[in-house]
């Protein structure tokens, strides 16, 4: 059974870079697409982007200029980097698996990690 | 950009049927997905490809999708079904979520 676990700093200063890692267990990271989804406190879900181990990526157009997702197959992990963060980037960040390729279902989610942007 | 619209809230009495709608341009031509998020928890896939239930999701959950509207139906709603529900679709290889609907079981 697939399990996902987010890790990274819970506090990031404005204008700095948010960096998170998702550790995947139970399946090979090379077999699926992997996504990041965030949720500001008390608000709805916002898709951030996804990546495939062969380098295919796609990002939310509203974040595209600041976001990068990369996969490390040797560690079965993938990462999120969001540059020049502002207070509006404060959210719970979830990593999640996309099953069935592009247009598939998001069938497994991590527990989420709260990242606060504040000085 | 593609948008999915959900009602902010729906209320239902225990044992009754709850219907949550999700509207988007020609949504019926895409697959609709539904996620349940209980308070303080991660989202869980409830319905995929319009009307399929993942293992572990009770039979009282069902879905449909036609025209511009997808609908999540919960028959015989139980107190444990109180949660936020999000619809989701793909548009041009991008993931789109609806704004979410808070289901209250009164």
The per-residue pLDDT for range A78-111, each reduced to its tens digit, is 999 999 999 999 999 999 999 998 899 999 999 9
Total number of residues shown for chain B? 106
Q: What is the dihedral of CA B94, A109, B104, B86, to 10 degrees?
A: 10
pLDDT for res A54: 87
User: Tens of pLDDT along A19-78?
Assistant: 999 999 999 999 999 999 999 999 999 999 999 988 899 999 999 999 999 999 999 999
Average pLDDT over residues B75-84: 98
pLDDT for res A7: 98
**Pick among A52, A59, A109 to test the B interface (most B CBs inside 10 A):** A109
Q: Is A6 exposed, middle or buried (0-12, 13-18, 19+ CB in 10 A)?
A: buried
From B32, which residue of chain A is nearest by alpha-carbon distance? A105
The answer on pLDDT for B69 being more than 90 is yes
**Pick among B32, B89, B95 to test the A interface (most A CBs inside 10 A):** B95
Residues ≥6 apart with Cβ < 8 Å to B40: none
Do B99 and A109 make contact, defined as CB atoms within 8 angstroms? no
Pairing of strands A33-39, A91-99: antiparallel
The answer on pLDDT for A10 being more than 90 is yes
- Whether residue B7 lies within 8 A of chain A, CB to CB, comes out as no
Q: Is B22 exposed, middle or buried (0-12, 13-18, 19+ CB in 10 A)?
A: buried
pLDDT for res B29: 97
Q: How many Cβ atoms are within 10 Å of A47's Cβ, its own excluded?
A: 21
- DSSP, collapsed to helix, strand or coil, labels residue A112 as coil
Residues ≥6 apart with Cβ < 8 Å to B94: A47, A58, A60, A61, B2
Residues ≥6 apart with Cβ < 8 Å to B54: A105, A107, B45, B46, B48
Q: How many Cβ atoms are within 10 Å of B91's Cβ, its own excluded?
A: 17
Q: Are B105 and B82 in contact (CB under 8 A)?
A: yes
Q: Name the minimum distance, in Å, from the CA of B50 to any CA of chain A.
A: 11
CA distance B39 to B96: 22
- DSSP, collapsed to helix, strand or coil, labels residue A109 as strand
pLDDT for res A55: 81
From A113, which residue of chain B is nearest by alpha-carbon distance? B42
The answer on pLDDT for B31 being more than 90 is yes
Q: Are B41 and B8 in contact (CB under 8 A)?
A: no
Out of A45, A50, A106, closest to residue B45 by CB: A106
pLDDT for res A15: 98
């Amino acid at each position: 059974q697939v399990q996902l676990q987010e890790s990274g700093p819970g506090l990031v200063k404005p204008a700095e870079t948010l960096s998170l890692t998702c550790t995947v267990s139970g399946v090979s990271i090379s077999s699926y697409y992997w996504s990041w989804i965030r949720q500001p406190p008390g608000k709805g879900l916002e898709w951030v982007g996804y990546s495939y181990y062969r380098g295919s990526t796609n990002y939310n157009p509203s974040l595209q200029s600041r976001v990068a997702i990369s996969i490390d197959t040797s560690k079965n992990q993938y990462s999120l980097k969001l540059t020049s963060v502002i207070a509006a980037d404060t959210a719970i960040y979830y990593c999640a698996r996309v099953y069935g390729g592009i247009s598939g279902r998001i069938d497994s989610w991590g527990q989420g990690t709260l990242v606060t942007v504040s000085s | 950009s593609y948008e999915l619209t959900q009602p902010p809230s729906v209320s239902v009495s225990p044992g009754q049927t709850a219907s949550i709608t999700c509207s988007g341009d020609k949504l019926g031509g895409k697959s609709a997905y539904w996620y349940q998020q209980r308070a303080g928890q991660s989202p869980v896939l409830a319905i995929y490809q319009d009307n399929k239930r993942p293992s572990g999701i009770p039979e009282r959950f069902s879905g449909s999708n036609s025209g511009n509207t997808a609908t999540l139906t919960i028959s015989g709603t139980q107190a444990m079904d109180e949660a936020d529900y999000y619809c989701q679709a793909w548009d041009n290889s991008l993931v789109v979520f609806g704004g979410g609907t808070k289901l209250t079981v009164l």
